[in-house]
Amino acid sequence: MKIIIAGDGKVGAAIARQLSTEGYDLTLIDSKQEVLENMQDQYDVMTVTGNCATMNILEEAGIEEAKLLIAATSADEINLLCCMTAHALNPDIHTIARIRNPEYYTQIFKMRNTFALSLAVNPEKKAAHQMERLLKFPGFLKRESFAKDRVEIVELRIDANSKLNHVTLADLDSIVKCKVLICVVLRNGQAIMPDGNFTF
């Protein structure tokens, strides 16, 4: 599958590194030749130097054959224009735009079709959300989110000085102040399926 990445800064380069290891046919667009040369030396990618929001540069990058365009420059407006131009040249293409401005980000979802966007992403917001989650519960050993972060499966060690010590499973909700379902407890190498009378 042919993928075009517009913008070879930190975000674009990270995406390119990941996708190149998965064997995709990648073309990178950036206005800085030396940045592109560095990526071309390290990975199996094609490069085009120029403004990613212009028709001639997108055509040179092979927009007509591409299935996906990821606009990841540092300028939201360029990313939006790049996606709109790509869609004008290839109506079947899927487009993803990096949008950092919170005002744009909230409006985008109301105007996705106008901007010909398949998806808008704010990596900084996602990173901040991840950090917030880690700081909120720093004691978790493992943590996985499902259903758009509405459900989380966590592994937690309860030490001798934990406020959960000597608490029954029936009383747990009032202490942690959220709905919790304990699936299994490992104690002294034994897996225990706890009931409401179980004491931590």
What domains are defined for the chain?
2-126 (3.40.50.720), 133-192 (no CATH)
> DSSP 3-state assignment of 37?
helix
Q: What is the mean pLDDT of the chain?
A: 84
pTM of the model: 0.65
Cβ atoms of 24 and 3 closer than 8 Å = yes
Average pLDDT over residues 52-74: 96
Q: How confident is the model at residue 130 (pLDDT cuts 50, 70, 90)?
A: low
Beta-strand relationship, 2-6 and 68-71:
parallel
Is 143's pLDDT higher than 80?
A: no
| C-alpha distances out from residue 33 to 47, 58, 81, 130, Å | 9, 16, 21, 34
Angstrom distance (rounded) from CA 57 to CA 163? 61
CA pair distance 7, 74, nearest whole angstrom = 8
Is residue 68 pLDDT above 90, yes or no? yes
Of 144, 157, 153, residue with least CA distance to 185: 157
Looking at residue 75, what is its pLDDT?
94
Position with higher pLDDT, 57 vs 8: 57
Backbone angle region of 36, left / alpha / beta, with phi > 0 → left and psi within -120 to 50 → alpha? alpha
Distance CA 113, CA 66 (A): 19
